[in-house]
């Protein structure tokens, strides 16, 4: 994924004309660790932007801009600064020249307006946001921000006008929610409550609306009503951390949350269009809106987590980690952010750091943090400790989540404690009888042990029917046929599994075994050799090498694969 707001449009001939020539260097370029021309700076910036390294791109483009004066390079510098979160810089570089792209100029106006609000210049921001030149795709954002800018400018009546963009439901809904907050600021509490009630009375109210209305009720001394609102929402969204935190606050008798400041309210309202852009896969605009939201309120932990997700997806792991480290202990997003931070290290094969981060987060007793620690321990094959952590998590719950039972069951099975593992898996399946992963894991485990064969085969077939594009599940079915001696059907299913997940070493190994059993020995050896190119784990590697060396294939004494078909959670 690439975070492009603009295509690379700078005329290369203009940049080349500004180069210092062979052996020449830019003094500022040397400061960035480069010995290159402005043209080289531009290319370095483009490469960094393509790789998702927006902070590096911002430095390179800005240096090229300073040395060339090229407006097209300045446009790229604006893009990179915005993506890197340097809104003050981006506002200074906002494109205004006639040759700049119209979309960039429109976005530039929004950036300038947000920067003005961040500096307390509400009147200036209001003038920009109400300018009819801010059109698609930024008109909804401008409409939602304008009342907050009016409030900052001291225009109370102007701030209470509900924003509207014809045919835009997002503006209708979140404009009403923003108006409710601004009515509260104006001490027009009855009108505020009318809007708040409307926002939470829709079929699927947003978390933002529930939190906002609940806070209003708490500030009005109506904690019983606030608690009922939070309880009702959690019956539909039981895992919602911010609402759970709000409910815990009320239950503990703690003070009501303060009314959001103008900048905090404006920052919050920008999350709605950002989330909409993420859903529409318009990642560059989503990132831009999140960065603007954080310029207004750098303490918005939910926005930092969203930025981290986008930066990680774009390949900028360092920026993702920096974002995940922003939420503070005690905040509703802290456990989520720490979990994602830990997984960035796990995915980079830095297991030690991943576990250190997860242990530190879990030390505070947070449920989600402890689950993350258990998951990492299980993935790292530290099964006894994973089970110990999960024992405590499950004991703390009145009704254990099926996923927790499943997780512990997998770890117990890997430890060789099958009776205990089977009990957990069956308990999880009783709670969630149609869950493909459970059906697959328990069904295969029975088949591999020669237990409940007819029921087990039906479970695996049901899992594949529910998720036919899962190479791991189709592999389980194929391997089940293999274990039952039906090698013809095993080959058929395992070939399908390899097509679905060609890079999985175990699936390729299974297909090789099935080929061997039906007499296709050359193809079997080809599959096993392929397994060795796919970075298999040590057990699979040893088994595969034994099959190739012995000449006996899967019938050799040392050739049995250590793991069968169930997906490793």
Q: Are 158 and 266 in the same domain? A: yes
**What band does 64 get if pLDDT is binned at 50, 70 and 90?**
confident
Q: Are 303 and 190 in the same domain? A: yes
Last residue in a domain, options 97, 122, 153:
97
Smallest CA-to-CA distance from 155 within 126, 119, 179, 129 is with 126
Q: Residue 492: pLDDT above 60?
A: yes
Residue 71, domain member (yes or no): yes
The pLDDT value recorded for residue 560 is 53
The whole-number average pLDDT for the span 359-386 is 93
Mean model confidence pLDDT for the chain: 89
Residue 280, domain member (yes or no): yes
Last residue in a domain, options 313, 337, 358:
313
b/e map 115-143, b = 16+ CB within 10 Å:
bbbbeebbebbbebbbeeebeeebbbbbb
Q: Are 219 and 295 in the same domain? A: yes
The pLDDT value recorded for residue 561 is 47
Helix (H) or strand (E) holding 330: none
Q: Residue 329: pLDDT above 60?
A: yes
The pLDDT value recorded for residue 139 is 93
Residue 52, domain member (yes or no): yes
Residues in the chain: 569
Q: Residue 128: pLDDT above 60?
A: yes
The pLDDT value recorded for residue 514 is 96
Q: Are 36 and 164 in the same domain? A: no
Secondary structure class of 551 (helix, strand, coil): coil
The whole-number average pLDDT for the span 1-7 is 34
Q: Specify the residue for token string 């909409």.
A: 276
State the Cα–Cα distance between residues 569 and 497, nearest whole angstrom. Answer: 18
The whole-number average pLDDT for the span 68-97 is 88
The whole-number average pLDDT for the span 188-216 is 97
Main-chain dihedrals φ then ψ at residue 555, nearest 5 degrees:
-85, -5
| Total structural domains within the chain | 3
Neighbours of 404 (CB within 10 A): 18
- DSSP letter string over 262-325? HHHHHHHHHHHHHHHHHHTT-HHHHHHHHHHHHHH-TT-HHHHHHHHHHHHHTT-HHHHHHHHT
Q: Where are the alpha helices (DSSP H) in 396-467?
A: 402-414, 418-431, 436-449, 453-466
The whole-number average pLDDT for the span 89-106 is 90
Q: Is 99 exposed, middle or buried (0-12, 13-18, 19+ CB in 10 A)?
A: exposed
Residue 376, domain member (yes or no): no
Secondary structure class of 561 (helix, strand, coil): coil
What are 405-434's pLDDT values in tens digits?
Answer: 999 999 999 999 999 999 999 999 999 999
Q: What is the CA radius of gyration of the chain?
A: 29
Q: Are 75 and 155 in the same domain? A: no
The pLDDT value recorded for residue 398 is 84
State the Cα–Cα distance between residues 325 and 305, nearest whole angstrom. Answer: 9
Q: Are 73 and 176 in the same domain? A: no
Residues 6+ apart with CB under 8 A from 242: 207, 211, 302, 332, 333
Q: Residue 566: pLDDT above 70?
A: no
The whole-number average pLDDT for the span 47-71 is 76
Q: What is the DSSP letter of 160?
A: T
Q: Where are the alpha helices (DSSP H) in 325-401?
A: 334-347, 351-362, 367-379, 383-395
pTM for the predicted model, two decimal places = 0.82
State the Cα–Cα distance between residues 460 and 217, nearest whole angstrom. Answer: 50
**Which domain, by its residues, includes 51?**
1-97
Q: Of all residues in the chain, what percent are helix, strand and coil, respectively (each to 5)?
A: 70, 0, 30
State the Cα–Cα distance between residues 94 and 79, nearest whole angstrom. Answer: 9
Q: Are 486 and 546 in the same domain? A: yes
The pLDDT value recorded for residue 369 is 92
The pLDDT value recorded for residue 539 is 85
The pLDDT value recorded for residue 36 is 64
Q: Are 193 and 284 in the same domain? A: yes
Q: Are 72 and 15 in the same domain? A: yes
Q: Residue 378: pLDDT above 90?
A: yes
Residue 46, domain member (yes or no): yes
The pLDDT value recorded for residue 97 is 83
Q: Are 185 and 245 in the same domain? A: yes
The pLDDT value recorded for residue 24 is 39
Q: Tokens for 354?
A: 């991943």
Residues 6+ apart with CB under 8 A from 70: 10, 11, 14, 15, 18, 64
Q: Tokens for 495?
A: 């070939």
Q: What is the DSSP letter of 255?
A: P
The whole-number average pLDDT for the span 380-404 is 94
The pLDDT value recorded for residue 32 is 45
**What band does 265 get if pLDDT is binned at 50, 70 and 90?**
very high
Q: Are 288 and 164 in the same domain? A: yes
Contact yes or no for 404/393 (Cβ under 8 A): yes
Q: Residue 4: pLDDT above 60?
A: no
CATH number for the domain that contains residue 46: 1.25.40
The pLDDT value recorded for residue 35 is 41
Residue 187, domain member (yes or no): yes
CATH number for the domain that contains residue 484: 1.25.40.10
**What band does 7 get if pLDDT is binned at 50, 70 and 90?**
very low
State the Cα–Cα distance between residues 434 and 443, nearest whole angstrom. Answer: 12
Q: Tokens for 77?
A: 């510098």
The whole-number average pLDDT for the span 188-195 is 98
Residue 322, domain member (yes or no): no
**What band does 98 get if pLDDT is binned at 50, 70 and 90?**
confident
Last residue in a domain, options 313, 348, 378:
313
Residue 541, domain member (yes or no): yes
The whole-number average pLDDT for the span 445-467 is 91
Neighbours of 240 (CB within 10 A): 18
Q: Are 195 and 263 in the same domain? A: yes
Tell me the range of 14-18, 50-54, 228-232 where mean pLDDT is highest: 228-232
The whole-number average pLDDT for the span 127-132 is 88
């Amino acid at each position: 994924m690439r975070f492009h707001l603009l295509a690379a449009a700078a005329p290369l001939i203009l940049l080349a004309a500004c180069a210092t020539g062979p052996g020449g260097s830019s003094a500022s370029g040397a400061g960035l660790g480069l010995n290159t021309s402005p043209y080289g700076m531009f290319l370095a910036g483009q490469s960094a932007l393509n790789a998702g390294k927006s902070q590096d791109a911002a430095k390179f483009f800005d240096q090229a801009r300073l040395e060339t004066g090229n407006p097209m390079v300045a446009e790229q510098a604006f893009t990179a600064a915005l993506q890197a979160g340097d809104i003050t810089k981006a506002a200074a570089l906002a494109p205004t020249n006639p040759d700049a792209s119209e979309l960039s100029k429109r976005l530039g106006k929004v950036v300038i307006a947000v920067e003005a609000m961040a500096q307390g210049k509400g009147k200036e921001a209001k003038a920009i946001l109400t300018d009819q030149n801010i059109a698609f795709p930024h008109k909804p954002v401008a409409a939602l921000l304008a009342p907050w800018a009016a409030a900052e400018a001291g225009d109370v009546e102007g701030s209470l006008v509900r924003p509207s963009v014809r045919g835009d439901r997002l503006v209708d809904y979140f404009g009403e929610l923003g108006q409710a907050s601004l009515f509260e600021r104006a001490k027009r509490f009855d009108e505020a409550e009318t809007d708040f009630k409307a926002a939470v009375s829709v079929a699927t109210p947003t978390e933002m609306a529930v939190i906002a209305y609940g806070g209003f009720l708490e500030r009005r001394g109506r904690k019983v009503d606030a608690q009922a609102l939070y309880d009702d929402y959690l019956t539909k969204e039981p895992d919602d951390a911010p609402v759970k935190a709000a409910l815990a606050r009320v239950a503990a008798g703690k003070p009501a949350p303060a009314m959001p400041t103008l900048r905090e309210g404006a920052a919050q309202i920008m999350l709605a269009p950002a989330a909409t852009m993420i859903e529409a896969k318009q990642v560059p605009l989503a990132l831009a809106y999140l960065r603007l939201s954080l310029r207004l309120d750098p303490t918005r932990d939910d926005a930092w987590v969203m930025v981290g997700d986008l930066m990680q997806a774009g390949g900028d792991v360092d920026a993702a980690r920096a974002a995940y480290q922003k939420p503070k202990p005690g905040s509703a997003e802290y456990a989520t952010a720490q979990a994602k931070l830990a997984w960035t290290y796990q995915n980079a094969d830095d297991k030690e750091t991943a576990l250190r981060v997860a242990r530190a987060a879990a030390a505070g007793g947070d449920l989600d943090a402890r689950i993350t620690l258990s998951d990492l321990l299980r993935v790292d094959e530290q099964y006894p400790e994973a089970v110990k952590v999960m024992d405590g998590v499950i004991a703390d719950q009145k009704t254990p989540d099926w996923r927790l039972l499943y997780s512990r069951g997998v770890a117990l099975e890997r430890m060789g404690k099958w009776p205990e593992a089977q009990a957990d898996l069956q308990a999880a399946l009783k709670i969630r009888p149609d869950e493909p992963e459970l059906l697959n894991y328990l069904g295969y485990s029975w088949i591999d042990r020669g237990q409940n064969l007819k029921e087990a085969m039906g479970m695996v077939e049901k899992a594949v029917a529910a998720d036919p594009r899962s190479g791991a599940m189709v592999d389980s079915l194929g391997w089940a046929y293999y274990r039952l001696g039906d090698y013809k059907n095993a080959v058929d299913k395992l070939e399908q599994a390899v097509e679905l997940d060609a890079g999985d070493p175990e699936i390729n190994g299974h297909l090789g075994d099935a080929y061997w059993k039906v007499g296709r020995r050359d193809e079997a050896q080809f599959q096993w050799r392929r397994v060795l190119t796919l970075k298999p784990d040590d057990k699979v590697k040893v088994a595969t090498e034994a099959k190739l060396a012995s000449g006996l294939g899967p019938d050799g004494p040392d050739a049995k694969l250590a793991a069968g078909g169930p997906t490793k959670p």
